Structure 1
Amino acid sequence: MSFKIAIIGAGSVGFTKKLFTDILCVPEFKDIEFALTDVSEHNLAMIKAILDRIVEANKLPTKVTATTNRREALEGARYIISCVRVGGLEAYADDIRIPLKYGIDQCVGDTICAGGILYGQRNIPVILDFCKDIREVAATGTKFLNYANPMAMNTWAAIEYGKVDTVGLCHGVQHGAEQIAQVLGAKSPKELDYVCSGINHQTWFIELKLNGRPVGKDELISAFEAHPVYSKQEKLRIDVLKRFGVYSTESNGHLSEYLPWYRKRPDEIARWIDMSDWIHGETGGYLRYSTETRNWFETEYPQFLEAASKPIDPAKRSNEHASHILEALETNRVYRGHFNVKNNGVITNLPQDAIIESPGFVDRFGINMAAGITLPEACAATCMASINVQRMSVHAAIAGDIDLLKLAVLHDPLVGAVSTPEEVWQMVDEMVVAQAQWLPQYAHAVPAAKERLSKSKVKTREWAGAARRSVRSIEELRAEKAALKQAG
């Protein structure tokens, strides 16, 4: 087989490398072309050198090109993968810092909540630019695979306004299933069969079977509470499991910021999170992790390049969906996964226009969703709160409507639990002004926002958050890695 895959945001070096090696685990794909594109020439040069080393070490005919000219990369591509972060860590820092001034303590801030909504405002105009290029220069019938957050908003915009065949991909379901299999004592995650459905980062394991035997709520609660690690790291998820009757896919930290109950009082936050790793609820945890990872990669790049000389091992192919989808579409080997698509009746008690994440099967005919799923009422209600925020956020981003943007933020579950309308109005003005360079659709609104800020009497505070850790230096990271190696 010979076709072209374009990766937008290929400067996300570690993730691009994973996608690349996964895809080349499919024997039929050795002759394909990878076209890498990014706004950073520096990052492009690094990832191309790594991928070239992999191709050389494995004696493959695979072609790798890299360019900052996006249209050139997309021209003739059959598949296009996006893993962009518009605004980079600079804008992301504002997604965390500014809401903290108004008492909104986020762990990740990339899906909904104040940070996730503004992230979507930055991404959506760029996503629509991608779609325009795809329609004009990509291969006929190309498929757009979106890995970038906020997943639902980006995918919604690409399908509804970009008019491109798009599927959103995430790994939350796989990770949640691995946890459940582990606490139930399974020898392999493959022993667990499940139906998991909802919206991205708020999917729910509504049916579980271990080796064909149904697993109920009480058994699952007991298994998690007895686990020596997860009982401490997943306190909030376990509490939701007890109250809702089903387990949520997303991490303790992620889930904590999608709900209005667990992060609204600073003195209560520590009760529900765990500081052993960022993903369990640390304030600004993913921002810290991303910053450390970038610094580590820049410093240790020669080692990453050297590691690329190893042979590709198909046994280490990851459970990221992309390679498996491409394999199913091109070879007709059926793949079952969980995909973000427009609902259109797949989940009976969520809106038709919503972007849902639910089970589907892939073969040469495309992605075929399992329809007719009904969520438990509490799960549907929680998803609905986020869907309403997502819909307003997408419409605001398309129209450049700052008033609708403020209403979207006001209706966010955690923001609404913490902040007054006056605080939300000022916070959005402040975020739009701070991020104006990445928000072209709001250029007309920035002068008035600045004027309002100059006259505002809403009080704010400089606050690091309830559970903040400092970014570690390279020396600290090296010492920690050495200690873990010695202990292991």
Structure 2
Amino acid sequence: MSFKIAIIGAGSVGFTKKLFTDILCVPEFKDIEFALTDISEHNLGMIKAILDRIVEANNLPTKVTATTDRRKALEGARYVISCVRVGGLEAYADDIRIPLKYGIDQCVGDTICAGGILYGQRNVPVILDFCKDIREVADTGAKFLNYANPMAMNTWAAIEYGKVDTVGLCHGVQHGAAQIAEVLGAKSPGELDYVCSGINHQTWFIELRLNGRPIGKDELVAAFEAHPVYSKQEKLRIDVLKRFGVYSTESNGHLSEYLPWYRKRPDEITRWIDMSDWIHGETGGYLRYSTETRNWFETEYLQFLEAASKPIDPAKRSNEHASHILEALETNRVYRGHFNVKNNGVIANLPQDAIIESPGFVDRFGINMAAGITLPEACAATCMASINVQRMSVHAAIAGDIDLLKLAVLHDPLVGAVSTPEEVWQMVDEMVVAEAAWLPQYAHAVPAAKERLAKSKVKTREWAGAARRNVRSIEELRAEKAALKQAG
């Protein structure tokens, strides 16, 4: 087979390498072309060198090109994969820092909440640019695989306004299933059969079977509470399981910021999180992790390049959806996964226009969703709160409507639990001014926002958050890695 895959945001080096090696685990794909594009020539150079080394080491005919000219990369592409972070870590830092001034403590801030909504405002115009290029220069009927957050908003914009065949992809379901299999004592994750449905980062395991035997709430709660690690790391997630009756796919820290109950007061936050790793609820945890990862990669690049000389091992193919979807579409080997698509009746008690995450099957006819799912009422209610925020956020991003943007933030569950309307209005003004370089659709609103900020009397505070860790230096990371290696 010979076709072209374009990867936008390929400068996300580690993730691009994973997608690349996964795809090349499919024997029929050795003759394809990968076209890498990014705004950073530096990052493009690094990832191309790594991928070229992999091709050479495995004696493959695979073609790899790299360019900052996105349209050139997209020309004739059958598949386009996006893993962009618009604004990079600079804008992301403001997504965390500014809401903290108003008492909003986020762990990740990339889906909803104040940070995720502003992230969406930066992404949506860029996603529409991608879609325009795909329509104009990519292969007819090209499929757009979006890995970038905020998943629902980006996918919503691409389908509704970009008019491109789009699917959103995430790995939260796989990670949650692996946890459940482990606590139930499964010998392998494959022993667990499940139906998981909802919206991205708020999907719910509504049916579980271990080797064909149904697993109920009480057995699952007991299994998690008996686990020596998860019982400490997933306290909030277990509490939601007890109250809702079903387990959430999302990590302790992520789930905590989509709900109005667990991060509303600083003294409550530390009760529900665990500081052993960022993903369990640390303030700004993913920002710290991302900063450390970038610094580590830049410093240790030669080691990553050397590791690329090893043969590709199909047994180590990851459970990221992309390679499996492409394999199913191109070879007709059926793949079952969980995909982000427009609802259109798949989940009966969620809106038709919402972007849902639910089971589907892929073959040469495309992605075919399993319809007729009804979520438990509490799960649907929680999803509905986020969907309403997502819808307003997408519409605000398309129109550059700062008043609708403020209403979207006001209706966010955690923001509403913490902040007053006056605080929300000022916070959004401050975020739009701080991130103006990445928000062209709000250029007309920035001067008035600056004037309001100059006259505002709403009080804020400089605050690091309820559970903040400092970014570790390269030396500290090396020492910790060495200690772990010695202990293991």
Name the TM-score class by shorter chain: over 0.9
Distance 2:313 2:205 in 1: 31
Deviation at 1:110, TM superposition (A): 0.1
Deviation at 1:286, TM superposition (A): 0.0
Question: What are the Cα deviations for residues 14-34 of structure 1, in whole angstroms up to 9, with x where unaligned?
Answer: 000000000000000000000
Distance 1:196 1:188 in 2: 18
1:277 has 2:247 as partner: no
Deviation at 1:391, TM superposition (A): 0.1
Deviation at 1:62, TM superposition (A): 0.1
Deviation at 1:483, TM superposition (A): 0.3
Question: What are the Cα deviations for residues 31-79 of structure 1, in whole angstroms up to 9, with x where unaligned?
Answer: 0000000000000000000000000000000000000000000000000
Question: What are the Cα deviations for residues 76-99 of structure 1, in whole angstroms up to 9, with x where unaligned?
Answer: 000000000000000000000000
Distance 2:76 2:395 in 1: 31
Deviation at 1:199, TM superposition (A): 0.0
| Residue in 2 that maps onto 1:234 | 234
Distance 1:298 1:337 in 2: 34
Deviation at 1:396, TM superposition (A): 0.1
1:309-388 map, 5 Å: 309-388=309-388
Deviation at 1:487, TM superposition (A): 0.5
Deviation at 1:314, TM superposition (A): 0.1
Distance 1:487 1:217 in 2: 37
Deviation at 1:374, TM superposition (A): 0.1
1:69-468 map, 5 Å: 69-468=69-468
Deviation at 1:346, TM superposition (A): 0.1
- Provide the TM-score with structure 1 as the length reference: 1.00
Question: What are the Cα deviations for residues 97-125 of structure 1, in whole angstroms up to 9, with x where unaligned?
Answer: 00000000000000000000000000000
Question: What are the Cα deviations for residues 415-460 of structure 1, in whole angstroms up to 9, with x where unaligned?
Answer: 0000000000000000000000000000000000000000000000
Deviation at 1:364, TM superposition (A): 0.0
Question: What are the Cα deviations for residues 318-342 of structure 1, in whole angstroms up to 9, with x where unaligned?
Answer: 0000000000000000000000000
Question: What are the Cα deviations for residues 357-381 of structure 1, in whole angstroms up to 9, with x where unaligned?
Answer: 0000000000000000000000000
What SS is found at the alignment partner of 2:257? helix
Distance 2:285 2:3 in 1: 39
Deviation at 1:218, TM superposition (A): 0.1
What SS is found at the alignment partner of 2:361? strand
Question: What are the Cα deviations for residues 376-407 of structure 1, in whole angstroms up to 9, with x where unaligned?
Answer: 00000000000000000000000000000000
Deviation at 1:5, TM superposition (A): 0.0
Distance 2:459 2:333 in 1: 59
Distance 2:414 2:42 in 1: 38
Distance 2:351 2:416 in 1: 22
- Provide the TM-score with structure 2 as the length reference: 1.00
Distance 1:141 1:401 in 2: 32
Deviation at 1:344, TM superposition (A): 0.1
Deviation at 1:409, TM superposition (A): 0.1
Distance 1:456 1:373 in 2: 48
Distance 1:450 1:49 in 2: 45
Q: Unpaired segments of 5 or more residues in structure 1? A: none
Deviation at 1:236, TM superposition (A): 0.2
Deviation at 1:130, TM superposition (A): 0.2
Distance 1:47 1:187 in 2: 36
What SS is found at the alignment partner of 1:144? strand
Distance 1:477 1:395 in 2: 42
Deviation at 1:283, TM superposition (A): 0.1
Once the two structures are aligned, what percentage of the paired residues are identical? 95
Deviation at 1:148, TM superposition (A): 0.0
Distance 2:462 2:43 in 1: 34
Distance 1:315 1:483 in 2: 29
What SS is found at the alignment partner of 2:90? helix
Distance 1:141 1:392 in 2: 29
Distance 2:180 2:347 in 1: 23
Distance 2:217 2:129 in 1: 45
Q: Unpaired segments of 5 or more residues in structure 2? A: none
What SS is found at the alignment partner of 2:167? strand
Deviation at 1:354, TM superposition (A): 0.0
Distance 2:255 2:141 in 1: 36
What SS is found at the alignment partner of 1:485? helix
Deviation at 1:9, TM superposition (A): 0.1
Distance 2:350 2:7 in 1: 32
- Find runs of 4+ consecutive structure 1 residues off by over 3 angstroms: none
What SS is found at the alignment partner of 2:453? helix
What SS is found at the alignment partner of 1:34? strand
Distance 1:245 1:235 in 2: 15
Question: What are the Cα deviations for residues 178-202 of structure 1, in whole angstroms up to 9, with x where unaligned?
Answer: 0000000000000000000000000
Distance 1:102 1:141 in 2: 46
What SS is found at the alignment partner of 1:258? coil
What SS is found at the alignment partner of 2:20? helix
Distance 2:224 2:147 in 1: 29
